[in-house]
Amino acid sequence: MKYTLILLAINLLLSFTAFTQVTFTGYLVDADEKKIKNVEVNLYQGNEKLSTKNWDKKFDYNLELEKYYTIELVKEGFISKRIAISTFEGDKGVEPFMFVMELVATEKGIKGMDEDYPSALIKYKKDEGSFNFDIQYAKNIKREEKAAKKKKN
């Protein structure tokens, strides 16, 4: 009986932990949509760095709900990118979120966008019941990157 209660308590604890997190998976590609290896991915919660890890082709993190995160992608020869993530308004049973992040190769004479600003915004939309990638914001960043390339030429 004691053994059964311990197992039940462990299962309840594990299931509670599973519901208070969401899995974020990102695929790392270049402009030709080829997967990129050996990308340094830094995970921040607020301004505190939680981890630094090199990933090949994709990365995934289990993020707690009700927090702000930033994922920073760093690869030599590419413009570094930051992704701002809000897991506020999360709910039990949140579905995993997957996305593709294109890293843009650096070119001589062209500076990247201000790396203090995120390249992408992802936030939970309670009324839709899912996490959303802010497409308009990403398009604006992409447009600014293209304009910087044209200025060089």
pLDDT in tens, 30-80: 888 889 899 999 999 988 999 999 999 888 888 888 888 999 989 998 888
Bridge-based pairing of strands 97-102 and 21-29 is parallel
Written as six digits, the tokens of 19 are: 């519901």
- Please work out, in degrees rounded to the nearest 5, the angle formed at the alpha carbon of residue 102 by the alpha carbons of 97 and 108: 155
Looking at residue 38, its pLDDT comes to: 92
Question: Which range, of 71-80, 95-104, 115-124, 143-152, averages the lowest pLDDT?
Answer: 95-104
Residue with tokens 């579905």: 95
Instruction: Fill in the amino acid letter for 92.
Output: K
Residue 151 to residues 30, 80, 102, Cα–Cα distance (Å): 22, 20, 21
**Using CA atoms, how far apart are residues 59 and 140, in angstroms rounded to an integer?**
25
Domains in the chain: ranges and CATH: 22-152 (2.60.40.1120)
> What's the pLDDT at 98?
61
